[in-house]
Amino acid sequence: MIKIERKKLRKLSKTTNPFLSLARSIIYQQISTKAGDSIYKKFSDLFKGKTPTPEILIKISESKLRAAGLSSQKSKYLHDLSRKFLNKTIDPSGFDRMSDEEIREHLIQVKGIGMWTADMFLIFALNRKNVLPTGDLGIRKGFMRAFNLRKLPDHSKMVKLARAFNGKHTELSLHLWFLLDGK
């Protein structure tokens, strides 16, 4: 059994702006943190000091989003996110009453949001306590290191190894990421 040093884990704080948290997640998908930071700054500059909202973002043209460094695909994803917030397909007012699985199903209605993004939102924006994002490469590598595995584990192997941490999968996830980067 591995020992988790809670004091070394990243501290989480619940989002006050689910829309912005999801937009940020889309922006940072599949790029380095450094590139994400640069693009996010340019994206934020489009709002001229105002907080990005679905009402404002939907009016920003794809060409302006592309000029900020977003791909055509991510620009479309952000517009879809805005539309789904505006028409209440995505309604964060119910998140506190929804299970993790219900939130995942709710979020993946947005183009560009899959299980990985939904899991990251559950952990980092909603601070849910029992999320194990087995689709994350860092988690798989963390399992390999923590449990001295010879190869990257598949979903079922990770679920089996994580049973001892049921109810605290998020804490385990934070520990596994910590093992890889020491932060």
Answer yes or no: are the C-beta atoms of 9 and 174 closer than 8 Å: yes
Assess whether 45 carries a catalytic annotation.
no
Q: Give residue 19's identity as a one-letter amino acid code.
A: F
| Active-site option among 80, 100, 119, 136 | 136
**Which DSSP helix (H) or strand (E) runs through 158?**
helix 155-161
CA 166/CA 122 separation, integer angstroms? 16
Half-sphere exposure of 91 (CA within 13 A, CB side): 7
HEC per residue, 113-147? CCHHHHHHHHHHCCCCCCCCCCCCHHHHHHHHHHC
181, 180, 170, 142: which is closest to 6 by C-alpha? 170
Active site residues: 136
